[in-house]
Amino acid sequence: MDDCCNDKTCEIDALRGRQSSTLKIVLGINAVMFVVELTAGLLGNSISLVADSLDMLGDAMVYGFSLYVVARSATMKARVALLKGIIMAAFGFFVLGQAIYRIAYPQLPMFETIGAIGLLALTANGTCFLLLWRHRADDINMSSVWLCSRNDIIANVSVLFAAVGVWLTRSGWPDILIGLALAALFLRSALHVLREASNELQSVHTKNVPDNSTL
């Protein structure tokens, strides 16, 4: 009997097992941080923290979807990636709306809260980023997950800049500007994921369509 390590099916099953374990961990981290950041953002009047918390919620949903399709077909993975892109776009537009609201009805955020929670979120997302690094090129499913994690790092650093900006200027504008920047990042990433998912679906469809020229 051949050793399991020489069996392609066994290798694929082992890869899927590692992917599932990683996704469960990062899903849990993001779910907890969503509650922490949303609460802190609402209490601290910070649009950047609220935006980052929604990013955490979106990521938790994305990781849940990704966990669901780990062992499924390429078509299903592409369809779920398409759904991820739609979710990312929805959060982008929501944050954009919140930023516009803060411009119309300004409030001074608590920079201490923004800085402390932003640093905590950066630590959490840094952990997720390292866990997902080795899976970033596995397939479109894990690639889109890693892209979300990379964006989280950028968002967390931006939140820390917002805290410093509010502290220096005693104004809510740095927080609002970071919120707008995060909205733009969500929308740009959503466009990237939607484009890749659409190309993947088209590729799968093309492979499944018989070539009449050979008949």
Dihedral sign (CA 31, 35, 36, 37): positive
Dihedral sign (CA 155, 63, 71, 24): positive
Average pLDDT, stretch 47-62? 82
pLDDT > 90: percent of the chain: 16
Tell me, yes or no, whether 83 lies in a domain.
yes
Tell me, yes or no, whether 137 lies in a domain.
yes
Tell me, yes or no, whether 211 lies in a domain.
no
Task: Pull the structure tokens for residue 32.
Answer: 């907890």
Least confident of 88-92, 159-163, 205-209: 205-209
pLDDT at 5 over 70: no
Tell me, yes or no, whether 214 lies in a domain.
no
Average pLDDT, stretch 181-201? 80
Distance, in Å, from the CA atom of 15 to the CA atom of 9, rounded to the nearest integer, reads 10
Where is mean pLDDT largest: 60-64, 109-113, 145-149, 191-195?
109-113
Q: What is the pLDDT of residue 11?
A: 45
Kindly report the average pLDDT of the chain as a whole number: 78
Confidence band, pLDDT 50/70/90 cuts, at residue 208: low
Tell me, yes or no, whether 7 lies in a domain.
no
Distance, in Å, from the CA atom of 85 to the CA atom of 187, rounded to the nearest integer, reads 9
- Say if pTM beats, i.e. exceeds, 0.75: no
Are 153 and 126 in contact by the 8 Å Cβ rule? The answer is yes
Task: Say how many domains are in the chain.
Answer: 1
Tell me, yes or no, whether 210 lies in a domain.
no
Distance, in Å, from the CA atom of 149 to the CA atom of 136, rounded to the nearest integer, reads 10
Q: Residue for token digits 């500007």?
A: 177
Region of 8 please: left (phi>0), alpha (psi -120 to 50) or beta.
alpha
pLDDT at 15 over 60: no
Q: What is the pLDDT of residue 165?
A: 93
Q: Residue 26 to residues 59, 157, 161: CA-CA distances in angstroms? A: 9, 19, 25
Residues with Cβ within 8 Å of residue 212, at least 6 apart in sequence: none
Q: What is the pLDDT of residue 4?
A: 44
- For the chain, how many residues are written? 215
Are 197 and 85 in contact by the 8 Å Cβ rule? The answer is yes
Mapped onto helix, strand or coil, the DSSP state of residue 49 is helix
| CATH code, domain with 200 | 1.20.1510
Tell me, yes or no, whether 124 lies in a domain.
yes
Containing structural domain, residue 74: 12-205
